[in-house]
Amino acid sequence: MTPIRKDLVERKISLIQDDLEKLSRLKDFSLNEIVSDFMKQATVERLLERIISRAIDINEHIIAEQATAETSPPKNYRETFLRLVELKIYPIDFAENIAKSVGTRNLLVHEYNKIDYERVYSSIKDCLKDYHIYINYILKYID
């Protein structure tokens, strides 16, 4: 095991916090208000993608640095959230809940021509709630 690069994790967390603050400005708009305004729609999509992708980066870094010879790499991005349970960073129920956000990220990254905007819209409040909790768990772990 090698030490976790606290500076890297803290920088990514800071970027996530900035994006969460920006996303919170859009949480009170209706689905129709977001979908009918290209700028709001594009902003929501990009912020969600960046928040989730940065958390995946953090997960992968922690897993790589804490790995032993017996540790197998995560099979997918969803599994990166689940692996943090093994490191006692957070409980399994939280891991299973936040890991669902990977589906939103994959939808935005890979299926941008046929996005389910109701799903994206419902992800806003989930993301705001879950990623504030995620940040607290990660900061506690690296301290």
Contact 85, 95 (CB under 8 A): yes
pLDDT tops 70 at residue 79: yes
pTM above 0.85, yes or no: yes
Residues 6+ apart with CB under 8 A from 66: 1, 4, 87
Average pLDDT over every residue of 17-35: 97
Among 95, 130, 119, smallest CA distance to 45 is for: 119
Position 89 scores a pLDDT of: 96
35 versus 115: which is more confidently predicted?
35
**Looking at residue 1, what is its pLDDT?**
66
| Catalytic site positions | 105, 110
Q: What is the mean pLDDT of residues 20-41?
A: 96
Q: What does the pLDDT average to over 10-34?
A: 97
pLDDT band, residue 112 (cuts 50/70/90): low
Per DSSP, the three-state class of 88 is coil
User: Any alpha helices (H) in 1-143, and if so which ranges?
Assistant: 6-24, 31-35, 38-66, 77-86, 92-99, 101-110, 117-142
Query: Average pLDDT for residues 78-88, to the nearest whole number?
Result: 95
Query: Domains plus CATH for the chain?
Result: 6-142 (1.20.120.580)
Residue 113: its H or E element:
none
For the stretch 36-71, pLDDT in tens is: 999 999 999 999 999 999 999 999 999 999 987 787
- Evaluate if residue 25 carries a pLDDT over 80: yes
Structure-block tokens of residue 105: 């990220």
For residue 116, the model assigns a pLDDT of 83
Confidence of residue 90 (pLDDT cuts 50, 70, 90): very high
Cα separation values, 50 from 92, 98, 109, Å = 24, 15, 10
